Chains A and B, each alone.
Chain A
Amino acid sequence: MRGGDLDRQFDDFVANRFPALYRYAYVLTGNQHDAEDLVQEALTRTGVAWGRIRRKDDPEGYVRTTMARIMANRWRRPKLEHLVPGVPETAADDPGLDRVHEIDGLDAALGSLPPRMRAVLVLRYFEQLSEEETARALGCSRGTVKSQASRALAKLRAGMLDDPERALMEDRRGRS
């Protein structure tokens, strides 16, 4: 395939899949600014390497994996930066999500997780990947995934309400 065709192919892919890729970046980062940066960097790398990408049948998976790896390996938020997470308006009319939002501290705790831990959580619980698949996606060992997920959940427990049991109770009530 010639260069011009490849460029058009990449442009079409980006034009069609940008919203989904941006949403995934948002899940990974939890805020708009970092999501923009993340999807930009991942698409740039993909665009540069487009001619050599083997997984042409699944370029979106390729970009998503790239984002997860960038997030897990490189993405470090300055400690003093305090970005305020917010439930997107589009989800606000979902009663179940309202309940999630009501659980004080979970958003903040998620937002304060180190990027690698957050990436592991996204792959495990959002993507529903197994530990083995998560390890393969992030290029690390299964043990690392296991320990990162465990530590992340421990941090979330500690970072939620003063009384995390109350949050869990609320959630149980919401689902019953």
Chain B
Amino acid sequence: MEDLERLVEGRLRALDGTDPSEEVRARVLGRVNRQVAVRRRRRRVAGTVAGASLVVAGGFGVPALLPALEDGAFNGTAPVAIGSADPDDDPLLGGYDDPEESGSPGVGGATDGDETTPGAAGGLGRNLPTGKTLSVFGIGADGTVLGTGVGPKGRSDGTLWRADLDSLLGAPVPLAEPKGLYAAAGSADLSVWPERTRDGFQLMCQDTAGTPVQLGAAGVARRASLGFHVDQGHVVWTDRTGARVWSAKGCAGKPTELTDGYAAGLAYPYVYVLGDDTTDLHRVHLETGESEDRSLPPVSKNALFAAAENTFSVADDRKLTVYDADTWQPHTVPDRLPQGKATLSAGDTTVAYTTGDESLLYDTTSNTATTHDGTAYANGPYVLTREGDAFTLQRK
């Protein structure tokens, strides 16, 4: 054996002496117990046709048709990916999706949905005509839900479906069947999604006129948190080269090159633009072009961002930091974020980080964090959570 190999052996053996503290033991085993229970439950649900219902709180007492999103991914208005769903039967073989391997952006994940049997109490059948069940990408600022049909094994029907609050009593509406659908963002009046073309992914837009149009020709970057965003009828996106940020007012608006960089968030009228150096963040006024520096500590390439009216949030290395949008005063949430691929979204008073199995909800008014088993998304005044087989959409 070479000297270097012996050195490596010795170094690795040195690491073998690190026993876990009682605190680590309690923390890890607690999470294992919880995760095992959650995943077992998911398996049972996926293997049967379970009832699910959406409880709309805050004055929207209507039944709904939202799926139990397992690891669905949506980043506020940001695009996310759908990946394989269930852990494999053999734990040696998988269950831990790698976005890089799946070719999808840095977040996303399993999206097996529960099903609602027609006429189930408080719910509505959400079986899609394609034979799949609706799995959401996330919620819009007006409570609109965009999603796709996904089967028990995570296979998508390739269709973009939309359900908004006004149509919760009806069936989800199929909007498009774009190639390579991995994300969508928007509202009841405007929906945006990527579609794979010969020129890479292009951004498609559909408003109340009903005909999808392509936004520009520069394509869209397939990157989590940094791809495209929709707020108040405005769309911003990073182009395919990943070097420029574009904006358009509605689907009919002429795309305009806003600035260099990556679109990390949109809370109209402000666009958060990340530079090549990840510490370099600017808040750009969409109408005036005025730019303000907003520096960040170094973050990894897997960092997630979410913009809201009063906050800008960064999740990285299992830490969540919420910045005051005006003063840029940071507040680091002491709770460690759940492990796994995740989605970060932000609403008016809530920042939601979810891995699908576990979520952390941070209340920006009280500076308190709560954990939640199941998914959680925030946008505008809405927070969507799932507990067991039921979704709750609350207006905060």
Contacts and interface: CB of A to CB of B under 8 A. Distances in A.
Contact of B36 (A24, A47, A76): A47
Given A48-B39, A78-B300, A156-B8, A101 B14 contact: yes
Interface residues of B, number: 56
B301 A78 contact: yes
B365 interface: no
A20 to B, nearest CB: 9
A172 B339 contact: no
B25 A44 contact: no
Interface size class of A (residues with CB under 8 A): 35 or more
Main secondary structure on chain A at its contact with chain B? Answer: helix
Nearest to A167: B7
A23 B300 CA distance: 26
B302 A91 contact: no
A105 B271 CA distance: 42
Contacts of A35: 18
Contacts of B36: 44, 47-48
B91 A42 contact: yes
A23 B16 contact: yes
B24 interface: yes
Interface of A: 14-15, 18-19, 22-24, 26-27, 30, 32-33, 35-37, 39-49, 52, 62, 65-66, 69-70, 73-74, 76, 78-81, 87-88, 90-91, 94, 96-97, 100-101, 103, 106-107, 110, 121-122, 125-126, 139, 153, 156-157, 164, 167-168, 171-172
20 contacts: A18-B28, A22-B19, A23-B17, A36-B24, A37-B339, A40-B31, A44-B36, A47-B32, A66-B92, A69-B92, A76-B100, A78-B317, A90-B18, A91-B17, A106-B7, A125-B8, A126-B13, A126-B16, A157-B4, A168-B4
Given A40-B35, A44-B31, A52-B90, 16 more contacts: A27-B16, A42-B91, A44-B32, A44-B35, A74-B101, A76-B98, A78-B300, A80-B298, A90-B19, A107-B11, A110-B12, A121-B12, A126-B16, A153-B8, A157-B4, A171-B7
